[in-house]
Structure 1
Amino acid sequence: MTTVKIMPCLDMKDGRVVKGVHFVDLKDAGDPVESASLYQKEGADELAMLDIAATLENRKTRLEWVKNVSSVIDIPLTVGGGISNLEDIKLTLDAGADKVSINSAAVKNPELIKEASNKYGKDRITVAIDGCRNSAMPSGFEVVVAGGTKTTGLDAVKWAKKCQELGAGVILPTSMDGDGTQDGYDLEFTRAISDAVTLPVIASGGAGKLADFKDAITEGGASVLLAASVFHYRTFSVNEVKEYLQKNGIDVHL
């Protein structure tokens, strides 16, 4: 049985951690360095940091944020947002990231996944897939990019399979419908992706109660659980989530 990992996520804008609902209505949620340090102390297995405005503002990920956060943790750090070519990946890894997450750039140029995987190893390449419901798609889910502002006409499940073929190491599906709502992960979306690939799948978007984390594994098929709001606003600590999962028979690092 896979050991499940807990991955707090720092959504970044203007040097601060922020959190919104459905990718909008952003509110301040703290200092990234303090948050990263706290989450590691609480037992986080990995950390994600996503520069959520980089693509929209047509700029690169702010590398000083990566340096500052990576300097206070020694758990794996995945960084995404505004990473559009091999040079960006190199700079981000050099700044202290252990993995990069690509999204809009991969949709625009799928070969980037293959090139990045060949150059840096598939374990360092996560492909994020933001999706929203669209009944016109075979799977019922369409890929959206640019912070959820643009539709692509791509079926999310078909795209996940293609990403695996091209050499992605991890798939990070986020349901725009569930993001920030704390109504629970979009289990249908997560399961559709996890059934389609053999890679680790990170559940993301909507965790609000302890049972949501268990459901993402047992019903969604995820092996990594990403959450933001519940950790930033101290609804639960990372440790509380892990203890709950362990009590429910799920293997976690304590």
Structure 2
Amino acid sequence: MNKTLILVVEDDAPIRNLITTTLKTHDYKYIVAANGENAIMEASSYNPDIVLLDLGLPDIDGVEVIRRIRSWSNMPIIVISARSEDSDKIEALDEGADDYLTKPFSVEELLARLRVTQRRLAIMDASSTSNEAIFTNGHLKIDFAAGCAYLDNEELHLTPIEYKLLCLMAKNIGKVLTHTYITQKIWGSSWENDVTSLRVFMATLRKKIESKPNSPQYIQTHIGVGYRMMKVE
């Protein structure tokens, strides 16, 4: 049995049954909640490893559930919603969701998102028990203590902004970071010109860490939303 415990928050019975059947088939443990208030209660009572959250709940909006969970926990939250507008995705991600899956979705995609989140949890657990301030992902290595980054053991010549971007993405590996979140962390603001600057710096960073910048393996673009560092095996 998979040790990962997943909280499924979904008021639509057929979709809830599809998700739980999928989880059961792949040996995940799960608990369910059909509304926001129960979701918050179950999250606080059982401290699940991952939350699968619908936004259109009958009592309170799913974004409010994210806000309230984030007031006391960093447990990964994957939104599963019929809301497909970029503004809805950005709001949920800015409030603290880790990922966003749009309905209708495939079972294979749901399982893939879960695996990505599990890998991120494993990396976080490993880093919390390690005394070394070293991050590795594929051929990429960051020595946080020394302030250096390496690719294939060759030091990368990064600008201060590029290095800050790389560290921010690495510390949130597997998580979609919105333009607003990144620009606030890097520049302390989120004006439109900062988003333009972000795209420029991200393009130059990719040229230095990606063998094929037009087909990147480390940093994935979510058009209109933001960026995510992917785990490279």
Does 1 or 2 have the higher relative contact order (CA < 8 Å, sep 6+)?
1
TM-score normalised by structure 2 residue count: 0.32
* Greater share of residues in helix: 2
TM-score normalised by structure 1 residue count: 0.30
* Greater share of residues in strand: 1
Which one has the largest radius of gyration? 2
